[in-house]
Structure 1
Amino acid sequence: MMDLWRFMVLLDVFLLARGADKMCDNFSDLDFHEAFIGTNLYVRLLLYTRANLDCGHELSHNDFTNEPLFHVMRPTTFVIHGYRPTGAPPIWIDHITRLLAAQADMNILVVDWNRGAANFNYFTAVANTRHTAANITAFIHRMTDEGACLDSIHLIGVSLGAHVAGFIGAMLGGRVGRITGLDPAGPMFAGVPPEERLDPTDAQLVDVLHTDMNSFGLRGPNGHIDFYANGGLDQPGCPKTIFSGKAYFVCDHQRSVFLYLCSLNRTCPLTAYPCSSYADFINGLCVQCEAFKPASCPVLGYDLSQWRDKLLKLGQTKVYFSTTAEPPYRKTSYIVDTLTWNQHLRWGIVILYLHSGKNVTEARIDHKLLRFEQHTNMRLLAQFDEDLYPVEKISFRVVTGNVIGPRYKIRLLRIMITPLDLPERPPMCRYDLVMEENTEVTFKPVSCDESHL
């Protein structure tokens, strides 16, 4: 099989060399004036393979059999962009073609409908989504006439492109292998029936990533599995005020693409946990994946094969995860189990520090007030931006906001800190810890004694 693969790649390179005098076909780059006056829909298909990652080849919609690099028997992934108000090409096209080519030997077809998506009038771009879908559907029909299998077709749509993918899938009777929707567009698609937007019936497997549901994104669920990054709302590192300019409007929405790119690069193993809400997830109520056993919890990215059968049986599944502001985006999570025994009832938040050498990382569990009272078991989820290991010291502080009067004692009969998604690392414990509210206490973790648990 490997020899056959090498032969196919060498053949592609040879054929490419024979056509080296052919100019590369690039994504349409429109100027501001064209977007301002509006563009008429024109759909192009740019082919990329492992043999021509630096040089796109535009395919004819009617006769693609003369393109030597396009093999209909190979898996084919369509990449479909969204609304382009200024007409500029998406900055991520080159990245996604290279990263997809690294996953498998496939045809990568970038759907360039910039003429149609580039328009100050968003409603015109929305109207063009169905026409674009009809165009691509006709092309896929021609592919199947030449022997292509719908099972091996993957549609990746961004924003409006996610709905284009959904319309294509619906026109093909939901028989395409997979659709991935990256923050499907919300405006004009909220509250509409499933047949008027991306939905689980559009493909054999539909996976969706949400990052901006309170603005440009669509509230889910819209797939067999819906991934919610940081609850699917505001993303860390994105501007919080309008004074930041364009980034204030697009940062959360674009984060879906950058998270997906990072997952394709395999530097961002973003594990997600089934849960009814993000609030329950960050409260530590959803840290197991019983429904997916013997497989692990779902991981965002290209390969969902080990979870596919479970997802199709479970129906629509919502999974949640948190990220950092910068690549590789992955947080290191710990479950913190405590047993309190203090005399006075105190309410507060928890700040936890992990020390390794001179390095320190912090987790603030401050999304709600926690109750510290006599004989109370409490489970918390602590998420750190850095993965420090081995952990040499741990600092723990309960902040109550009490600035006057005596400082009350808080007694922890037990604190156990367990890595959430690093099972090879043992849990860390400390027993009978007495501390004052608003005062940090530092200790060395010890091995957990089963007699204390």
Structure 2
Amino acid sequence: MGPEEIVTSFTLFTRKSKDPVNGEPLETSNRTLLHRSTFRANKKTVIIIHGWGEHSNKAWIQNLRKAILQREKSNVIIVDWYEGADELNYWKSVQNIRVVGSQLAHFLIYLKDQTGMSESSVHLVGHSLGAHLAGYTGQYLPGIGRITALDAAGPSFENTGKGCRLDKSDALFVDAIHTDSVNGAGISQPIGHRDFYPNGGHSQPGCEWWQFVCDHDDAQNEYFIESVLNRNCGFRGVSCESEEAFANGTCGPTDGGDISCPRMGYYSNTRQESLGKFILYTESTFPFCAKRRRYDRLYRKWRGDPDDENIYRLADDTSRR
């Protein structure tokens, strides 16, 4: 499909938006809309991108933008490419994301030229096909600050080269959450600087076997939204190469130093923390952030001393408040 058929739109939301429900439309062909808007170049810009079969009014998208604006004064822009994502033929939608990725890159260049916005202040959050769409945007426009992949799509992207999918070279920092990565709709291979596999990256607690889209759509979106709202819960991940090693408590530090358990989610943005592949527990219902008791056995095995209080140092976030 061509750009005129996909009808991609960009809608701005800020704390000062005159219409907090419908937002403020922005168009590269109408500079007046931008200059009359509440967009501020000195604020972080978070861009939310939906996936296949979705649209900008999906509940998770609206809940995420509300959560972000509740926590901070940011520019939140929602990308709608519904006409290109609504293809019954998934493979056609796969082709369409290159077009929309180019459109988004052009839109960001427009914002930069008109307002002085820095691409390093941009955070793209993409779900499913939207994650790879964000990757293409980063390929067209180097220097984007961050891309977060919410269960990036697997079919057509698994085991492909980095130019064909989202890759850690597409932004200054790329983090990925994998929730449906075993024979599911999500990609299983690591694609970012930091890849998180909650509950092993598949079969999320609270999702029944017959709920086809739950692991891919509902679970990871709810985890990410909770990570925005509940900063006291770090969704701390454990550096681990396999689900089996994680379950057996045999994962641990590889450099002989302290265990580094970086956050999964919105606040996973400190490059000084460990990079690589991380596994973590979640609960089956809200709040999903796993309680400390879920990690007790894990930390005892690592430290070899069940009486050492330090085994709980990073098991929850209370020590870091």
Band of TM-score, shorter chain: 0.7 to 0.9
Secondary structure of 1:249 counterpart: coil
1:1-20 to structure 2, matched below 5 A, reads: none
Structure 2, gaps ≥5 residues long = none
1:320 is matched with 279
Q: Separation in 1 of the partners of 2:76 and 2:56?
A: 21
Residue 55 and residue 275 in structure 1: after superposition, are their counterparts in 2 closer, same or farther (change >3 A)?
same
Q: CA deviation at 1:300?
A: 1.4
- Name which of 24, 28, 33 aligns with 1:61: 28
Number of aligned residue pairs: 301
Secondary structure of 1:379 counterpart: helix
1:7-41, CA deviations, whole angstroms, 9 ceiling, x for partnerless residues?
xxxxxxxxxxxxxxxxxxxxxxxxxxxxxxxx931
Q: Separation in 2 of the partners of 1:273 and 1:137?
A: 34
Q: Does 1:302 align with 2:266?
A: yes
- Name which of 192, 204, 210 aligns with 2:178: 210
1:251-298, CA deviations, whole angstroms, 9 ceiling, x for partnerless residues?
1102111110111111643111111212111211225586886x9521
2:86 is matched with 118
What amino acid is aligned across from residue 277 of structure 1 in structure 2? S
What amino acid is aligned across from residue 61 of structure 1 in structure 2? T
Residue 423 and residue 208 in structure 1: after superposition, are their counterparts in 2 closer, same or farther (change >3 A)?
closer
Normalised to the residue count of structure 2, the TM-score between the two structures is: 0.85
Is the 8 Å Cα contact of residues 11 and 77 (structure 2) preserved in structure 1? Answer: yes
- Name which of 330, 349, 358 aligns with 2:289: 330
Q: Does 1:164 align with 2:133?
A: yes
Q: Separation in 1 of the partners of 2:152 and 2:118?
A: 26
1:181 is matched with 149
More strand by share: 1
Q: Separation in 2 of the partners of 1:132 and 1:69?
A: 24
Q: Separation in 2 of the partners of 1:234 and 1:289?
A: 28
- Name which of 89, 93, 105 aligns with 2:73: 105
1:396 is matched with none
2:213 is matched with 250
Q: Does 1:75 align with 2:75?
A: no
Q: Does 1:151 align with 2:113?
A: no
- Name which of 164, 167, 170 aligns with 1:199: 167
Larger Rg: 1
Q: Separation in 2 of the partners of 1:193 and 1:186?
A: 13
Q: Separation in 2 of the partners of 1:292 and 1:165?
A: 35
Q: Separation in 2 of the partners of 1:423 and 1:218?
A: 29
Q: CA deviation at 1:47?
A: 0.6
Is the 8 Å Cα contact of residues 262 and 273 (structure 2) preserved in structure 1? Answer: no
Residue 287 and residue 54 in structure 1: after superposition, are their counterparts in 2 closer, same or farther (change >3 A)?
farther
2:62 is matched with 94
Q: Does 1:379 align with 2:320?
A: no
Is the 8 Å Cα contact of residues 289 and 297 (structure 1) preserved in structure 2? Answer: no
Residue 380 and residue 45 in structure 1: after superposition, are their counterparts in 2 closer, same or farther (change >3 A)?
same
Q: Does 1:235 align with 2:194?
A: no
Q: Separation in 2 of the partners of 1:197 and 1:238?
A: 27
Q: Separation in 2 of the partners of 1:55 and 1:290?
A: 50
Q: Separation in 2 of the partners of 1:227 and 1:163?
A: 17
Residue 237 and residue 76 in structure 1: after superposition, are their counterparts in 2 closer, same or farther (change >3 A)?
same
What amino acid is aligned across from residue 139 of structure 2 in structure 1? A
Q: Separation in 2 of the partners of 1:142 and 1:292?
A: 46
Residue 336 and residue 204 in structure 1: after superposition, are their counterparts in 2 closer, same or farther (change >3 A)?
closer
For CA contacts below 8 A with separation 6 or more, give which structure has more relative contact order: 2
Q: Separation in 2 of the partners of 1:380 and 1:218?
A: 30
Is the 8 Å Cα contact of residues 252 and 302 (structure 2) preserved in structure 1? Answer: no
RMSD (Å), alpha carbons: 2.8
Is the 8 Å Cα contact of residues 210 and 217 (structure 1) preserved in structure 2? Answer: yes
Secondary structure of 1:92 counterpart: helix
Q: Separation in 2 of the partners of 1:297 and 1:221?
A: 17
1:128-148, CA deviations, whole angstroms, 9 ceiling, x for partnerless residues?
100001111111111121211
Secondary structure of 1:258 counterpart: helix
Q: CA deviation at 1:423?
A: 9.2
1:84 is matched with 53
Is the 8 Å Cα contact of residues 121 and 144 (structure 2) preserved in structure 1? Answer: yes
Using the aligned pairs only, state the percent identity: 32
Is the 8 Å Cα contact of residues 253 and 260 (structure 2) preserved in structure 1? Answer: no
Q: Separation in 2 of the partners of 1:291 and 1:300?
A: 23
Q: Separation in 1 of the partners of 2:306 and 2:268?
A: 36
What amino acid is aligned across from residue 379 of structure 1 in structure 2? K
Normalised to the residue count of structure 1, the TM-score between the two structures is: 0.61
Q: Separation in 1 of the partners of 2:285 and 2:15?
A: 29
Residue 55 and residue 417 in structure 1: after superposition, are their counterparts in 2 closer, same or farther (change >3 A)?
same
Q: Separation in 2 of the partners of 1:169 and 1:250?
A: 27
Is the 8 Å Cα contact of residues 129 and 164 (structure 1) preserved in structure 2? Answer: yes
Q: Separation in 2 of the partners of 1:182 and 1:335?
A: 28
Q: Separation in 2 of the partners of 1:180 and 1:292?
A: 28
Residue 145 and residue 292 in structure 1: after superposition, are their counterparts in 2 closer, same or farther (change >3 A)?
farther
- Name which of 105, 129, 135 aligns with 2:97: 129
Secondary structure of 2:27 counterpart: coil
2:243 is matched with 278
